[in-house]
């Protein structure tokens, strides 16, 4: 099987000749949405007669939901509702990328649309608690044959140890992709705040945030789209599989950092400890929503080894990457700041994760009106 895609081997200089053509006042708009799997992204493009300046300038649009696992053929039209607009780093200004919610013809959210319920919870807590979130997205680069990018064709690379934040051709596999993705995110307007090579060779991480409320999900989904598009140009795959390689190799998570106006203020450690106790009581519920398959993906990753906690136990500790919840060392010293939930899998739905955390940590029991099932 091919290690890179045939399309990545096309003459890119010839492509650039066409991309450099003027387009008058017209603007290319790419609508992007989450498909019925809850993990995959889809997109299609349309022409507008002028550059949209805000979300209100963007029309709703239809698509064939029977081809994305979101409808049946006899009633296949689904609606795309624009919720976020970004600059297009592939076609450049004035062209746009537009993140959309998917709703049915009844205007009810599609089953894979967790943004709708997330927004309801955030509206309940935003004014009083001002929640901020940051997400650390790990991913693994693969060839088209599913083999980790840069690994020997037969056998395995040297054991883990030199790869985390490593430098050198024998330690950093695919840096071009990570750096191009970083630049694409900055151009688009993503709040990307860093990137690094991870513990397993060919595995990388990027961080997005801090973001306020639902914006965290919007930003992370668009950052994931940009990652897939960059990888498409290079002819390789980026997988969010939580445990892409069996054996003595690290898995991939999407750790989330959480704070409120109380945890960030003086004496914030008290509020962090209160949040941790609330999370402890709902460990099973959180595991159920921290990957798209009800915890089945995380069973392969959360083993208590390779910088993870056990999926069966809840734990917390200062600077402990083997705990469910890590309190950063500087937060413990300052006695205020944020905490990190290390349980979400790399392929989690960011909307569902922040919705569940906010519901557990920021709402009183009598206010919990949003069904998470």
Return the DSSP state at 9.
G
Please report, rounded to a whole number, the percentage of residues in the chain having pLDDT higher than 90. 92
Banded model confidence at residue 371, pLDDT cuts 50, 70, 90: low
Banded pLDDT at 315 (limits 50, 70, 90): very high
CATH of domain 11-112: 3.10.20.70
Q: Please tell me the predicted confidence (pLDDT) of residue 22.
A: 95
CA 137 to chain centre: 6
What per-residue confidence (pLDDT) applies to 373? 47
Average pLDDT over the chain reads 95
Question: What is the longest distance spanned by two Cα atoms in the chain?
Answer: 61
Would residue 267 be called left, alpha or beta, if left means φ above 0 and alpha means ψ between -120 and 50 degrees?
Answer: left
Containing H/E element for 63? strand 61-64
Neighbours of 165 (CB within 10 A): 12
Domain ranges of the chain: 11-112, 119-367
| Burial group, residue 68, by CB count within 10 angstroms (0-12, 13-18, 19+) | buried
Phi and psi dihedrals of 249, rounded to 5? -135, 145
Instruction: Give me the CATH topology for the region 119-367.
Output: Creatine Kinase; Chain A, domain 2 (3.30.590)
Backbone angles phi, psi at 293, to 5 degrees: -115, 35
Is the pLDDT reported for residue 366 higher than 60? Answer: no
Give the sign of the dihedral formed by CA 363, CA 295, CA 321, CA 183: negative
Tens digits of residue pLDDT in 14-27: 999 999 999 999 99
- Report the share of the chain in percent with pLDDT over 70: 97
Per-residue pLDDT, averaged over 338-343, amounts to 98
Place of tokens 């091919």: 2
272-305 pLDDT, tens per residue?
A: 999 999 999 999 999 999 999 999 999 999 999 9
Give the predicted TM-score (pTM) of the model: 0.96
């Amino acid at each position: 099987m091919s290690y890179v895609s045939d399309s990545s081997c096309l003459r890119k200089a010839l492509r650039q000749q066409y991309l450099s053509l003027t387009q008058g006042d017209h603007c290319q708009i790419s609508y992007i949405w989450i498909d019925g799997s809850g993990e995959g992204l889809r997109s299609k493009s349309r022409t507008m007669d002028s550059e949209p300046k805000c979300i209100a300038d963007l029309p709703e649009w239809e698509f064939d939901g029977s081809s994305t696992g979101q409808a049946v053929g006899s009633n296949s039209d689904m609606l795309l509702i624009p919720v976020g607009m970004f600059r297009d780093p592939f076609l450049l200004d004035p062209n746009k990328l537009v993140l959309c919610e998917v709703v049915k013809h009844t205007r009810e959210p599609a089953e894979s649309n967790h943004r709708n319920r997330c927004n309801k919870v955030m509206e309940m807590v935003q004014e009083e608690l001002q929640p901020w979130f940051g997400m650390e997205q790990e991913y693994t680069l693969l060839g088209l044959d599913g083999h980790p990018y840069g690994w020997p064709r037969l056998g395995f690379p040297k054991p883990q140890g030199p790869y985390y934040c490593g430098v050198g051709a024998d330690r950093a596999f695919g840096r071009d992709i990570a750096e191009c993705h970083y630049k694409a995110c900055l151009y688009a307007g993503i709040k990307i705040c860093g990137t690094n090579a991870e513990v397993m060779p060919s595995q990388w991480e990027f961080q997005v945030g801090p973001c306020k409320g639902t914006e965290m999900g919007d930003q992370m989904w668009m950052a994931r789209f940009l990652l897939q598009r960059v990888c498409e140009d290079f002819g390789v795959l980026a997988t969010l599989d939580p445990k892409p390689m069996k054996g003595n190799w690290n898995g991939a998570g999407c750790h989330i950092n959480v704070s409120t106006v109380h945890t960030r203020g003086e004496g914030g450690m008290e509020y962090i400890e209160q949040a941790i106790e609330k999370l402890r009581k709902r460990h099973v519920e959180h595991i159920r929503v921290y990957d798209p398959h009800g915890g089945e993906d995380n069973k392969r990753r959360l083993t208590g080894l390779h910088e993870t906690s056990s999926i069966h136990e809840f734990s917390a500790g200062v600077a402990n990457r083997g705990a469910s919840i890590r309190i950063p060392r500087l937060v413990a010293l300052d006695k205020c700041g944020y905490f990190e939930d290390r349980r979400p899998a790399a392929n989690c739905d960011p909307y569902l994760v922040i919705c569940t955390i906010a519901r557990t940590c920021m709402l009183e029991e009598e206010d919990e009106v949003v069904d998470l099932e």
